[in-house]
Structure 1
Amino acid sequence: MISRAGPAVLYDFDVSVTSAGAAGVAVSAWRPCLDGVVEVLHAHLTGHAYPMHAHDSWTLLIVDDGAVRYDLDKHERAAFGDLVTLLPPYVPHNGTAAHPHGLRKRVFYLASDRLPTDLIGASVDNSVFTDPSLRRRIAALHEVIGQPGEDLAAEGHFAEITERLRVRLGFPGLPERLDRTPARRLRDLLEENVVPGISLDEASRLLHFHPAYLVRSFTREFGMPPHQYLISRRVDLARRLILAGDPLWSIAAGSGFYDQPHLIRHFKRILGVSPKAFSKG
């Protein structure tokens, strides 16, 4: 879902855990409102060792501090530093910190249908790989997935991540030559929905292009991803409303932002001043 004017639900707390136990485990987990991601988990482990277990989802893991050792398909593996780890569904694995000071990790659990089941074998053979660009994209998704009003940014990052994972595991990727037409048609859709917003999945259905193809084509054509374009247009609209004399309390909803803090953050990022300072000027 893309953020829309007025209140919106970012998290569904049916799955929500925060704990700290004697074994030295601190965990925060939740289910975000992003199709294809069934759980987000941030953990700091210093004494706990996961026994052999399995998931019905893909486990996409980055380690921010320390290292983790695990067994997958009777082979010992490790994840640390800039590496990206992808564990397949239904294949048992375990896990423990490789150093006494423990580890910090961030995990996305992806719905099993987000990657072809044909890639499970490839993921078992190659569960860890170096891809700085992909790791940055994963980290960026972790940053925005918890921020109200940043749904389109999350969708864009997720589309690029899943496409990159498919390529990494040997699945044919998007064509190198990108058509300019879908980029311009997506821009028209964004222009028609500056305030209410439109999800990337909905745009993909309307334009009949893969979400990752839309993001990549748009970025190459206009020099910014779709979510940045939409935010810039909402800031532009907010400026018009300020200059028209609208009260500041109504401008966030009137220009498509989730709430006033969401408006203020992006207004200052783009213009260097807050909406209040801009109105006085």
Structure 2
Amino acid sequence: MSKKTEIAEFAYASELGGVELLNANYTKQTFSRHSHEGYTIGVIESGAQRFYRTGGNHIAPQHSIILVNADEVHNGCSATELGWAYRAMYPTPEVFEGISSELGVTNGAPYFSDAVVHDPQLADLLREMFTTLDKSDNRLVRESLLYSSLIKLVARHSKSSKKSALQSKRKVSLLLVKQFLDEHPESDISLQALSVLAGISACHLLREFQKQFGLPPHTYQIQARLRRAKGLLRQGNNQLDVALTCGFHDQSHFHRHFKRMMGVAPGQYAKAVTSNNVQVIY
């Protein structure tokens, strides 16, 4: 792998429930702490990746599988001087809920307790699936490999969905703040205003929100803005309009945060969701 060349191929499989796919060689790319609506499932092809997943730091070496649950805070960078190459996909909780139901699991979407797993047979199956999604336009084959891979993953490595009990008034108030940020990500709201909504002090809100959701409110707001932006890009909206609509200062501000979360620029993402395949060489 070249120390200077970074390649990121992003694809969007709309017929597979909107599964996002990434094939990348990175050396300098650093992902900031962020979360996705979907799960992150990746296979390290070469090198090694260092990353944080809620609860601790991990290193994923060659041939290992990375697992990050939906909405779980994580980041990523290279663990070696030569960087790392990996294939990843981001299936939604809805896709997994259907699979769990088929397997007789009634607690909804699964929870993957291990951030890194070593399962050569499953890694090979995931590679076969990625290759098929790259090269085949046969919908039956694509869907069959995707679901057989995820079924095996759930059967071997998942547990029941891990959900915090949210009975207390304090946790309910935090959910009100999260809901506001999710529904109004573009809002230029103050911490003080959010604390009034939650019914607790600003300092207490700052501390408790990060403890509950893994990010402070202002960082979570950026994630909510990026999620809204992805939806608008999928609808074909202009990048500058998307940036301003979602509350970013300008297109440069939007571009920087988007790439640190997604690993590709918003322009490449926009092309991928219309053409279903794009390659970017830096």
Larger Rg belongs to: 1
Q: Higher strand proportion, which one? A: 1
Q: TM-score, normalised by structure 2?
A: 0.48
Identify which of structures 1 and 2 has the higher relative contact order when contacts are C-alpha pairs closer than 8 Å and 6+ apart.
2
Q: TM-score by structure 1 length?
A: 0.48
